[in-house]
Amino acid sequence: MKFIVSSTYLLKQLQILGGVINNNNTLPILDNFLFQLKKGELTVSASDLETTMSTKLKVESDSEGSIAVPARLLLETLKTFPEQPLTFVVEDNNTIELSSNHGKYALAYANGEEFPNAVELSDPSSTIIQGDVLAMAISKTIFASGNDDLRPVMSGVFFQFSTEGLTFVATDAHKLVKYSREDVTASQAAEFIMPKKPLNLLKGILAGSEIDVLIEYNESNAKFIFEDTELICRLIDGKYPNYEAVIPKENPNKLVIDRSQFLSSVRRVSIFSNKTTHQVRLKIAGAELNISAEDIDYSNKAEERLTCSYQGDDMQIGFNSRFLTEMLNNLNANEVQLEMSLPNRAGILTPVDGLDEGEKITMLVMPVMLNN
């Protein structure tokens, strides 16, 4: 088995696949990339059993075969090479020899047969979505998903496909984000919960790309296919909470304010907040928003006043400043609207501008009780 490939081209593809490999694998074979060579095409795969990703590379070769190559060793070696052709040759003594312009390097390889096979999806449904639309949906929601092992359904992003549009939801019970697109539709309705790790990989690869991504899915797995790459992952098992029931429908108090001004004000004031509750207090009266925080234990306090446009009754409400800053950070609008009903009901944050045609985003943040 022998092939020749460009060093930077190979490195670029392997670095993407390397994101799949865990630092401490239970099966030693998972520390490797699987190389499968056939008719001048090299398919490289990486897996952690839950997620498997593979990509096809064009190489010069007239042989075939399959071996598993140590991922970290190969990546570290490739990072040091300038652009040049590299020749890989499998030797008899169970090593693969890599020849560059300046030298030779031998890596011990494992049998490719030991590598776990990727799951085949039986009878999948499918949807096509543009790469940057998917990447945008992921980055707008994933930050709101939880990390609680006891509630695995909340640790992923909920995909809801219908003939009307696509909806993506993430929540950790303190904050919730619902992102929907009406300009992209699915041929049939479907719902599944995607884990975080494959979503972060997809977000990194697809950001800003206009390639179409074919998503195939069944009860237990989802597969994302684009260009020469495939990613298959196991879905999170379980029923997603009824998020619509949590979003308050009647919110008479509406505050519209400049996003970056609001964000930097909350950031500054929150430095003086209690380090366990991170509580900031919003006090709204007329066209004035008063943002304050205090840490009684250390006699630290801060207060700022901003002008805003407000319709509704004068009110005071407390929020966790970390959730508020995260949400404001993830909106790329100039102005945002915060809708509220009562100090103990969730606030709803939406962008006033900056959205594409057919794009909608709703963020919900639970209040914290104010100690008067």
Question: Crossing angle of helices 131-141/196-206, nearest 10°?
Answer: 130
CATH class of 125-245: alpha beta
CATH for the stretch 2-114: 3.10.150.10
32: enclosing H helix or E strand:
strand 32-38
28 pLDDT higher than 70:
yes
Is CATH 3.10.150.10 correct for 253-368? Answer: yes
Say yes or no to pLDDT of 195 above 80.
yes
Enumerate the domain spans of the chain: 2-114, 125-245, 253-368
3-state secondary structure (DSSP) of residue 2: strand
The 10s digit of each residue's pLDDT in 240-284 is 999 999 999 999 999 999 999 999 999 999 999 999 999 999 999
Residues ≥6 apart with Cβ < 8 Å to 7 = 78, 81, 82, 83, 84, 85, 86, 100
Whether the predicted pLDDT of 351 surpasses 90: yes
Order the strands of the 309-311 sheet from edge to edge. Answer: 190-195, 156-161, 166-171, 175-181, 359-365, 347-351, 335-340, 253-258, 309-311
pLDDT of residue 246: 92
User: So what's the pLDDT on residue 372?
Assistant: 63
Same fold across 2-114 and 253-368: yes
Give the model confidence (pLDDT) of 112-169 as tens digits. Answer: 999 999 999 998 999 999 999 999 999 999 999 999 989 999 999 999 999 999 999 9
The token pair at 48 is 């952690």
Distance CA 236, CA 220 (A): 8
Q: Report the pLDDT value the prediction gives residue 371, as an integer from 0 to 100.
A: 72
For 242, counting Cβ atoms within 10 Å of its Cβ (0-12 exposed, 13-18 middle, 19+ buried), the class is exposed
